Amino acid sequence: MNQSPIGSTSVDDHPPLRAVVFDAVGTVLHPQPDVVTAYHEIGRQHGSSLSRDEVGRRFREAFTSRAETELETSDAIEYEFWRYVVGKVFRDVVDPEACFRQLHEHFAQPTSWRFDSETERVLTALGLRGVVRCIASNFDARLDGILDASPVGPLFDHRVISSKIGYRKPHRRFYEIVLETCGTTAAETLFIGDEPAADREGPAQLGCRALLLDPGCSGEENCVTQLRDVLCFLEAN
């Protein structure tokens, strides 16, 4: 077990943890191949001659251009956002709409994703302790199909998906709905995820405990390097 700083978080005054809420993409779920490789390959099939590096640069620019204030959503809004991203990345494809549809469908396929190798073990261990396990994601309704196709899917007691509830992380309402869904108070609930604003600061503002998952963190408070550190955190709290 690596020495992450989880023990440094003293929460003696908190009630026991009764729920763990996992972010999806970048935490328990990873695209295979990675997003840039998939975009580059599918773009190429549609006539794009962009380099992989250029695809990556354009993707990051388009993806991060989303206003932090636009946190209300729906499946239609998510669909249009992804159409916008693909359009920003590829201006040299023969049929932009066909390219977009293929990419959108690609990321709906369970075979385009893999679960972190520790997910099943961590969820099973939490279940044996009677801890509620929730997946809470800014991904859209495509996540349902991916979870339904995996043995990992039924190990989550609840799913909260932003496009279905109308709010994206870090909108406060998103976390409130997670708590209502889990039936736990903020202090009884631990969030874990790879995005500081969405997965750590957002839930912490409501009084939840929250861990950033970052393989590169060292010594930082409320940051762990691997998924199974959640179990150590529960032991220590």
Ligand X SMILES: O=C(O)COP(=O)(O)O
Task: Give the total of residues touching ligand X (CB under 6 A).
Answer: 8
Choice between 115 and 139, CB closer to ligand X: 139
Residue with the two structure tokens 């293929």: 102
- By CB under 6 A, name the one of 119, 138, 181, 225 that touches ligand X: 138
Phi-psi region of 41 (alpha: psi -120 to 50; beta: other; left: phi over 0): alpha
Choice between 11 and 197, CB closer to ligand X: 197
- By CB under 6 A, name the one of 39, 113, 139, 174 that touches ligand X: 139
Choice between 138 and 184, CB closer to ligand X: 138
List CB contacts of 201: < 8 A, sequence separation 6 or more: 170, 210
For residue 40, the cross-strand partners are: none
Which of 227, 228, 209, 212 shows the shortest CA–CA distance to 17?
A: 209
List CB contacts of 82: < 8 A, sequence separation 6 or more: 100, 103, 104
- By CB under 6 A, name the one of 19, 24, 190, 211 that touches ligand X: 24
- By CB under 6 A, name the one of 5, 18, 26, 112 that touches ligand X: 26
**Helical packing angle, 229-236 and 119-128, nearest 10°:** 30
Is residue 191 at the binding interface for ligand X, with CB under 6 A as the rule? no
Is residue 110 at the binding interface for ligand X, with CB under 6 A as the rule? no
- By CB under 6 A, name the one of 25, 55, 93, 99 that touches ligand X: 25
Residues that bind ligand X (CB under 6 A): 23-26, 137-139, 169
